[in-house]
Structure 1
Amino acid sequence: AAAWGLWEPSWQGHGDSVDFGQYTRMDAQLGHRAGFVHWFANWDEGWDYDGPLVQQVMGANRTPMITWEAYNRPLKAIAAGQYDGYIDSWARGMAASGSRPIYLRIFHEFNDPLQPGTGSGYSWGTGGGTQNQPADLVAAWRHIHDRFAGAGASNVRFVWCPDGVNIDIGGLRAAYPGDAYVDFAGWDAYDYDTARDYQVLSQISQRPFVLPEVGSADPAWVQDLSSKLRSGGYSRIRAVIWFDEAEWRLDVKPGVRTAVKDMLTTFS
């Protein structure tokens, strides 16, 4: 059975003192506890800020998933070791955080073209609008992975996650670091063609899947995801994490919320 999680924008930003109120409210609304707490940390944040958040999530008996955003850090420079001090501080911090897994998603949605002013793409992208090649992403990824391994951070689960749109199997395959460097593969799913995304990624990675960002305003889309999970059609998907913001907020979409509640009856 898949695990459930949430990204709640109101949760983050309280600094060292985190408000779990929105999580407990959503747990009650959905009749199911969110096992994953997902948040975003850019590389201007130090472990001294995010380490306490990790401890509070673990203390609440939930599992952290951090999307680690390397804004404006060139992939070639990462691979060349220019940011090792920063990377190592996180690796050591995570290694010292106990045995509960920490899911770390890096270079997410790299397949989206960078189009300034549109909200599309990131500086680490390989889908156009940057100078990056897929091989640059692979080299940077493997370098980060090796630094974490060297620090003894065996509790970290590395998550490779393109966007579920702009799916090109050749470009994705070229940007895949390899099963030895990836613990979970997945994609971000917003009313996209989930069956296609599942089929394409199944050809690239042998790792289990997680969906770190899921959002829909269409109950039928959720029902389709639910039925495929229930029937075993998506047997490799181990976690679904809802992006509970903007038009995907479950508390303002009763039809979608009902479909999600039904889906969660089969979740762990």
Structure 2
Amino acid sequence: MATVDDVLGGGGRVFGVTLHDRSEAAVTAVAEQISCRPSVMQVFASVERGISVETLSTVPATPMLSIEPWRSGGGSAQPDWSLSATIDGRWDREYDALARTVVGYRQPILIRFGHEMNGHWYPWGTRNGNSKGEYVRAWRHVVDRFRQAGATNALWVWSPNIIRGADSRTIKEFWPGEQYVDIVGVTGYGVREKSPEVTYRPTLRLVYALTDKPILLTEVGVQPGADKKSWLKGFGPWLEDNPRVAGFVWYQVIRQGDWRYDDTPANLAAFKSGLSSVELKC
């Protein structure tokens, strides 16, 4: 059975990445650049299409499998992928196939299901005919099916968006309960903010009031602009000041903006300078 310490333990903060290229060469390039090899790599899979054991096995780090209950690229209004469809078992065959893949993978794996549920931009969010309380029921339904399939190597990452930009000013209404969550994930990007403290503090206050589970920043990035360099430089010291944050997964992808830490040599230098103040799990 996988434990949180299998992924987050051992000293230092976890350094993870999201990359288009998930090859060993790509991870090695990141390791040489940052002087720390990423120990977690994010992989996305829709419930409809699934993913294979072979694909997971090629990931050169612990996978964080972000499972998305939708038709990829179909937008936020998809009645077939409302939360009630998951609750009613309409997609159980597809969930069970994913569970079998996870069981077949055998190694510890992070499962990030239905992320950013407090926003409206996905079919499992606050719109698309979804009602209050349905997210919790859908989450528990999926976790129960994976557990029944024997997926004891899965660690469940519950991952709301920071409340800036979300539809709800609370996260408590989406909380499935202590027995259904192993790690609290937080999605949050720096957008015209001078520091990570400004970006994350309002949401972390809510997390601290809700649970003592460890926190993993599951999507991190900074929008280009006048504040990016200072935000990047302040990230390491901010981590040092927030011991409950066990690590981060940086979004090293150009998508609706360039959120990477190395979009310019100066920004990369600022990021590395800041990280020198915190111990990373490398």
Between the aligned residues of both structures, percent identity stands at 28
C-alpha displacement of 1:68:
0.9
Amino acid at match of 2:128: T
- Among 35, 54, 57, the residue aligned to 1:55: 57
Question: Which of 77, 82, 107 is 2:85 aligned to?
Answer: 77
C-alpha contact (below 8 Å) 2:183/2:213 kept by paired residues? yes
Change (3 A) 1:205 1:134: farther
- The CA deviation at 1:189 is 1.8
Deviation at 1:241, TM superposition (A): 0.6
- Are residues 1:41 and 2:52 paired? no
Query: Could you say if the C-alpha distance between residues 102 and 145 of structure 1 is closer, same or farther in structure 2, counting changes exceeding 3 Å?
Result: same
Q: Is the Cα contact below 8 Å between 2:214 and 2:245 reproduced in 1?
A: yes
The equivalent residue for 1:208 is 214
The size of the alignment, in residue pairs, is 244
CA contact (8 A) 2:47 2:95 kept: no
Q: Secondary structure at the match of 2:250?
A: strand
Q: Distance in 2 between matches of 1:167 and 1:199?
A: 16
User: Quick one: distance in 2 between partners of 1:95 and 1:263?
Assistant: 39
2:270 to 236, 259, 266: 259
CA-CA distance at 1:170 after TM superposition: 5.9
SS of the aligned residue for 2:171 comes to helix
2:238 aligned with 1:228: yes
Measure, in 2, the Cα distance between the counterparts of 1:56 and 1:9. 14
SS at match of 2:242: coil
- DSSP 3-state at the match of 2:36: coil
Q: TM-score, normalised by structure 1?
A: 0.84
> Cα–Cα, structure 1 residues 134 and 255, in superposed 2: closer, same or farther, change >3 Å?
farther
For residues 13 and 32 of structure 2, what CA distance do their matches in structure 1 show?
19
Deviation at 1:263, TM superposition (A): 4.2
Confirm or deny: 8 A CA contact 1:208 1:237 kept in the other structure: yes
1:6 Cα deviation after fit: 0.6
The 5 Å alignment of 1:28-177 reads 28-48=32-52, 51-57=53-59, 60=60, 62-71=61-70, 72=78, 73-98=81-106, 100-113=107-120, 121-126=121-126, 129-164=127-162, 165-166=164-165, 171-177=170-176
Q: How far apart are 1:182 and its partner, in Å?
A: 0.8
Residues 194-221 of structure 1 show CA distances to partners (whole Å, capped at 9, x for unaligned) of: 1222112111232111111100141222
How far is 1:168 from its partner? 7.4
**Could you list the runs of 4 or more consecutive aligned residues of structure 1 that deviate by over 4 angstroms after TM superposition?**
167-170
Give the gaps of 5 or more residues in structure 1: 12-18, 114-120
Paired with 2:275 and 2:235, the residues of 1 have a C-alpha distance of 11
Structure 1 residue 196 and structure 2 residue 187: aligned?
A: no
In 2: Cα distance, 1:159 partner to 1:239 partner: 13
> 2 CA distance for matches of 1:21 and 1:180?
38
Structure 1 distance, partners of 2:41, 2:189, is: 19
TM-score, normalised by the number of residues in structure 2 = 0.80
Provide the C-alpha distance between the structure 1 equivalents of 2:249 and 2:87, rounded to a whole number of angstroms.
Answer: 30
Q: CA deviation at 1:167?
A: 5.5
Question: 1:222: Cα distance to partner?
Answer: 2.6
Output the aligned Cα RMSD.
1.9
